[in-house]
Amino acid sequence: MILDDIIAYRKKQLERETEKCPLNEMRRRAEIQLCDRVPLSLADALRGDRLACICEVKKASPSKGLIRPDFRPVDFAKEYEAAGANAISCLTEEHYFQGSSEYLAAIRKAVNIPILRKDFIFDEYQLFEAAAIGADAVLLIAAVLDENEFSDLYRLAKKLGLSVLGEMHTVEEMQRYAIDRPEMVVGVNNRNLKTFEVDLATVEKVKPYAPEGTVFVSESGIKTNDDMKRVRSLGADAVLIGETLMRADSITNELNRLREGV
């Protein structure tokens, strides 16, 4: 399964990273960064009368391969912000998505809206690293973590001042992981992480079980203005859009087209 392969590779990569920069040093770097700036609230950025957009900087994916050959992450992030994006998602997984922590650090210096670190997080080291490179929010995926692991990482993220986007894919995950976490932004991934197939009906099935009052994000599979209207009608506060924007000749025009009347 693709997800299992990604996690196995990511764990080996983390071992190499901790050899280069031990946990105590990464914790120190995080503390320095957090003294310089307070992370922005993802939930606050996504609340509003209009469907909010988390626009993703993504070079490649396991299912689609190379998405954007002329990859200029900082330029894309600046264009997203100028076009009205509410937040930016930056892939930092290097092997399968060709992302980089360096991309996020560079984007942090260029924009003034929240940045989500999009990665497969399972260790406290990754949270300290997220804070150190200037992320405002992190992704915690229910399919990757058991309940205790999710709780421990959630608490540490909050202690560091980082927002959490908790990603669910099933009703069971929503019921187990989203309860009693009112500050957590809740996302439903329309992409099955085991097959990488996309079905917008997923949000329709899972959204009714989201805790009342939480900021809700529909992730993956948004390609048309009708898709935007559909998830908005289901109660989504925001969408996360990556591939559709990355493949566009004009990011600004494509984002305007998607958001028209929504």
Instruction: Please list the active-site residues.
Output: 56, 58, 118, 167, 189, 219-220
Angle, vertex CA 128, rays to CA 125 and CA 133, nearest 5: 120
For residues 20-38, one letter each, b for 16 or more C-beta atoms within 10 angstroms of the residue's C-beta and e for the rest, the string is eeeeeebbebbeebbeeee
Q: Give the C-alpha distances (Å, rounded to integers) separating 76 from 56, 73, 89, 173.
A: 9, 5, 11, 33
Q: Alpha helix (H) ranges present in 37-100?
A: 42-46, 73-82
3-state DSSP helix/strand/coil % of the chain, to nearest 5: 45, 15, 40
Rounded Cα distance between 253 and 248, Å, is 8
* Half-sphere CA count of 80, side-chain side, radius 13 A: 32
Q: What is the amino acid identity at position 183? A: E
The token pair that represents 168 in the structure block: 């669910």
